[in-house]
Every structure is written in structure tokens, then in C-alpha cells.
Structure 1
Amino acid sequence: MKKIIWIFLTLLMVSCKNEVKDYVTLKGTLKTVGVEKIVIQGRGFSKEIAVDKNGVFSDTLKISDGVHAIANGNDRITLYLKNGFDLNLEFKGEKFSDGISFTGKGAETNNFMENKRSFYMSDLANPKTYFKLEKEAYTAKVIEAKSILEAYKETATNLDSIIIKMDERNDEMFFGYIESNYEKMHENIVRFAKGKVSPVFTNYENSNGGTTSLSDLKGKYVFIDVWATWCAPCKAEIPYLKVLEKEFHGRNIEFVSISVDKPEAYETWVQMVKNEGLSGVQLFADTDFESTFITEYGINSIPRFILLDPEGNIVDADADRPSNPKLKALFIELGI
């Protein structure tokens, strides 16, 4: 009888030990000072988690399995959460976007996602990294990138099927774009290489009255923003562009914004320039995307940024966005 009872108790203990929790446990210590709460958000789910004065947080969440975001205001990063996970988060920097290392149950999937996020935040995810190379070097670079991504998969053998499908789709879209556009984009990069004479625009309407041509700006660097009032990514760059304009005001550079809105959106452009207090040189292209300047540069998506030197030669025909610190660094490097 004692033996039977012991066996029963042993089985009960094993059963309890192997029981899958129907909630997620999250814990970690922030490196950011003064944060009182963070938020976990998913489809139809949102929960605030308190953070103590030392930056420590710990909580449980009953969620629907899937991709979620952990956020501190606008600073956020994605996680994959599944009931039963017990995750410890180690932050790499003060911002969530600096990255997170995971330990505990569920760490494998989340570390894989972090590796992929780091890849797609690097220069290896910038199409220009590939398009600027000659064919042999381009092929080698693609092989290198695919090898890195394959290595991530080899170290994560128990990924959830949802993540596997998402990952495969993202990689297929990225390399599909690179491989299908290489010839055309490489030709454009060669054609518009640094030092080549830029195409010009002539007599574009200026929001301040009159018209402006590229030749009017000769003698200064010219940073051109091709945008439209309906373009959300374009408008997202406006605050950063304003900061750059203010910081480099009075220096040897003109900031020129060219709207490619259609004629029927002319009044919308006028009002946005006024209401948003858009500075620099605000121009309205003569025939929207069909304007000669736009077509000669092969611009078919916006925003697009172009940097020219004081002689009207190309410095970068596809320059970094104002939100990218590399742009300001380039200005400084050029002595602007």
C-alpha cells in the first residue's frame, strides 16, 4: 500500500511539474531611468506593467498566442508571446529599440526574432548596399546575407510555425525585391553616381511667389526632398527635416522640397505649407510624377532625397532620410 501511495504521489508531482501554465510570465530590469510603467500590446490586448524605482518589472499575462509589442511611449519592440512562456528580458541599452536578450522558456523564438530585427536594421537590409555593387560583388553580398539568415535558423530549431511562415515571407519579399530590381537600380546608380551632373528642374512654382530653378541655387549644396501631401512616410520626415533646416540655417546649403501632388491637390499643398510652417524652398512640380526632373531620376516612390554639391553635381542621388543620423554626419563631413 505504501508503495502504491508513493507511486501515486510521484506521478502527481511529475504531472504538476509538467503542467503548462495558461499565462505568460515576463520580468526584467530597465536601463532607462524614471520609467513608471511599460505596456504590452497585441491584437485586442493591452496591459500596463508597473516598473519600480530600480527599473524592475514582473507580471503575468493571459494572452492570445502571437506577436506583441512591449512599449515605453513611442519606443517599442516586438515579442512573440505564448501562454506557458516564462521570459526574462535583458535590455541592451536604454531604449527598447537597442535590443533585448531573452532567457527562459520562449527565449529561442524571441532571440531569433531579435537577430532578424538586427539584420533588417543593418546595412545588409539596405537595397543600396547591393545595387551599388558590380555583378560579382553583388552576387557575393547576397550569398553572404542569405548565409547569415540561414545561420540564425540553424540555431533556432524549435520555432513556432507562425514565426517560420512570417520569417520566410519577409525574406522572400526582401530578396525578391533585390534580385528583380538589381539590373535597373544598378544602372541608375552608375548613371547618377557621385560627381555626375544632376538633372535639373526649371521654373517650378515657389510657395513664396514666383518660380525657382535649380540653376538659381548654384553655389550652395542643395538637399532635395521629393514628397506629396498624401504621403504618410513623407510627412513623418517633416519634423526631422525642420530640425536639420534650423541647425544648418545660414550655412552653405539650401533645403528644397518638391511636391509631386497632382494639380487638383494644389490648394491642399498651399495650405499644408502654411499650416505646418514648412520652411526652406517649397516648390510645386510642373507635372507631378511626369515632371522631367522626376522621370530623369527614375523616381517612382516617395519620399526621395537627393543631395547636390555647389556646382550642381550629384553627391548622393538617393540620400538618407532626415530621420537618419547618417545624413547630418554627412553634412558635417562635407563641411556644410
Structure 2
Amino acid sequence: MRKTKSKVHIFFLFLLLTAFWSCNSGEKGEKREAAVEPGQIVLFFEDSVTNQFFRQRKAVFKYMDDNMLPVEISFNSEESSKDLIINTKRGSLDLVYRDNSQFEFTYYLQNGDSILIQEKDKKPWFESVKKESSSYTYNLELLRNTELYGKSHSKAQDFDFLWNETKAFPFELDMNEDLKRNKDEAIQGFQKELSWIDSLANTGSISEEVKAFYTSKNRMAQKKLEAYPTDSMVFDSQLAVNSFLNEIEPQLDTTVFLDEFSELIIANQTQLQSRDLIDSLLAGSELNHREKSLLFHYLQKEIPFLSFKVVDEVLVRYSDKLANPAQLVLLNSSNKALQGIEPDIELMGLQKSSITFEEILSQKRGKYLYVDLWAAWCIPCIKAFPASVALNEEYKSRGVEVIFLSVDDNYKFWEEVAIKYDIAIPNQSFVAMIKDESEYLKALDVALIPRYLIFDPKGKLIHPNAPRPDTEEIRDFLDSLIDP
């Protein structure tokens, strides 16, 4: 009897081990043999352990699709365990990897590639399944950092980290000398990298195409670095514009690098500087790819702060200047989404009176409403209260009313703050309730406050980011509505 039980246990153990081995090896084997359709690049994880590593690191892949729109894939859900299939008509593209360890590597991929993603020494490692290739072909930047610098980051990345930290958290100590030293080391590092890339090509470790891409990226990164002065923390956008328009090599025209460089330039310009730049570009001949990229990011920055009517006019004006219709759709997507959602916000007023935002819009028909979105923890919101109150007094006889709408979580605290700062106005001061269930608040993204909305006399939102109450712009805008 004991022998029978022992045989049964061994048999079942054998079945379990066989099933475990089959499932795991089958997963890898099946994916390795999976055919890649023409016009595709396929990436898949070696196993579930590798996938879990990427998820723990909050990894993100980014590339530019064929419409020249950035696509980001994050590995933070069960969906991320699926194969990543990139459909493209281009012969090649760059895929940028970033994670919460501040690792950043660019992988140069060919159309038709089937790539196995592995984890090696706590870093991402790419390996071609379909063709023989050296480790440098797909992991050049990772190996560059290891072989040239003996660490996970390049000298240029070290400078970026220091610049961003100094910019975000100014130190009491003077960091100019550290920035200058890091910048000098980064410039020297770029030269070492060019020689290293040449040597890889000469020994056949990388193709001439791979060499051309990384060489162009290196040279352009040097030009970009010049726009970061070490004697001040002000990015030189004009110098960057000159490099961007005149120095970019063709290999970078459809890359993440070009898109992010363009976005960086616009982000560091004033509204007037960007407008003058775009006007100067449009005054010339037909826009090239780089100029279209600047236009796209300019519109992406400006459109959220325009009324719906002006947005329509702007998109008509620039529609044939963009790279393709897909960019036009993206630029208008957030506005279209807001216009298509009912304002489903449950509110509570003074003395705990319940009402919905839709009911307020109905009760206030015939008036323009200037909605001041605020919270008690938002100091700029509170500082703007006197201007909002003054705006209410100035325009109430002309058919404009200010509504104070708080997104605080605590009713009693909201009421105390509203009374303290003289905005506890009956039928004009409310706090949002059950915010997590409001699709309208989600679409508005009320984490970004102070925020000001304008509704027309029919209760329709016409401006999702109106000018602040203490500006002449808001008065000019209201005057144009009241006395067109």
C-alpha cells in the first residue's frame, strides 16, 4: 500500500513538473516563432519575471508613429504583458526607454524586427529573434555608458540631471561651477562617443545605417547642449531654434529626439516669442518637417488656453500647415471631449444645500458665468479671490456672474475658508461632492488650479481656461461677449 501511494505521488509530481515546463517554455517558444507581418516591429518579454521587472520600474517606451504623433506605452498593468506591436511604413524608427531609475536608452529598430526584451543586470536588453546581430546593434547606448563611462548614465545625462535638479530645487550654494564642469565633461564625452561609434562600424559591430543614426543624434545633442548656459538657469531658446532649424540632419526628422527638442524650445519661450517664431516661419515658403514640428507644439501649448470659438478659427487657419490631419484631430480632442460631456457635478452650497451643476446652469440662464475653480490648499487660488470678487461686482449689472466652485474634500473646512475670504456668497459659492464619480471633473483635470471657466447664457461651456480675474485679458474677453 505504501509503495502504491509513493508511485501515485511521483506520477503526479511528474505531471506537475511537465505542465510547468511546457507552459513556460511554450510561451517563449511560441513567441519566438511568431511571424512578423510586413510593416510591423514586434517586441515581447522573455518571461513574466522580466515583465514584472519593467512594471516595478514603471518603465515607459516612446516612439513616433507614422502621423508624427508621440506614442507612449507604460508597463503598469496586466495589459502590458502583451506583445508590443508597432505598425509602421517607415524603414526604421527609434524607441526610447525610460524608467523611475532615470535610465534612458534609445533603441534603433528596423521594420520587420522581432525583438526579445530581457532584463540583464537590472537594465533592459534587446535581442533580435529573426537575424544574427551584434549586441551593439540594439543596445548601443547601454553599452556606451558601460564601456566609456563605467556606469549607467552618460556624461550628457549627468549634466541633464544636475540642470533639472538645480532648476527645480535651487540650492543656497552656487552650482555654476558644478554645472560648468559637468557640461565640459559632457562635451568631451560626445567626442569620445563619436570615436567609439566609428570604431564599432570599422570592426563591423554595427551597420553604416546604425552608425549614421547615432552619429547624427550625438551631433545634435551637442548643439542642444549649447543652449544650456552654466552662468544662468535660463535656457537659450533662440540659440536652440537656430540649431534646430539649421543643424538637424535628415536621419532625425522623424525621431523622438526631434519631437522632444521641438517641444523643449516652445516650452521655454514666452507666448510672444513663440508667436513671432511661428509668424516668421509661415512668412517663408512651405514649412519643412522641423518647422511643422514647432508649429504643432506651439498649437499644443496655446490651444488649451483659448476659447472654443478661437480654437476653431486657429485650426482652420493652420490645418493645411500641419504634418497631417491626425495632428489636427489630436489638437482638438480635449475640447471636443469637454463639449460632449454633461456637467455631472454634485454640489453643496451654504447651509448644506444640495444642488447639481446642471441645475445651476439652468437657474442662471441668460447670464454669462465665470466659474472660479479653487481649493483651500491652493495659495494662488486664495490670492486671486479679491480679483474675482471685484470682477463679479464690476460685471454683474452687465449679465456676468462669478461662481466660486471648490474641489475641497471637507465641507466644514471649505465653508470656513469661504467665509474667511469673503466668497461665501449665497447661490454663488459651492463645493463639489463625490468628485470621483464626475466624468466632467475628470475631463477638466481639476488638479490644475486655479482654473477659470466661462459658460454662455445657454449654459454651454465656451472657454475651458479663461484668463485670470486680475488681467485685462479677461475684461477684453467679457467685453467682446457682451458688446460684440
- TM bin, normalised by shorter chain, reads 0.3 to 0.5
Where relative contact order (Cα < 8 A, 6+ residues apart) is larger, the structure is: 1
Report which of the two structures shows the higher radius of gyration computed on alpha carbons: 2
- TM-score, normalised to structure 1, is 0.45
- TM-score, normalised to structure 2, is 0.33
* Structure that is richer in strand per residue: 1
* Structure that is richer in helix per residue: 2
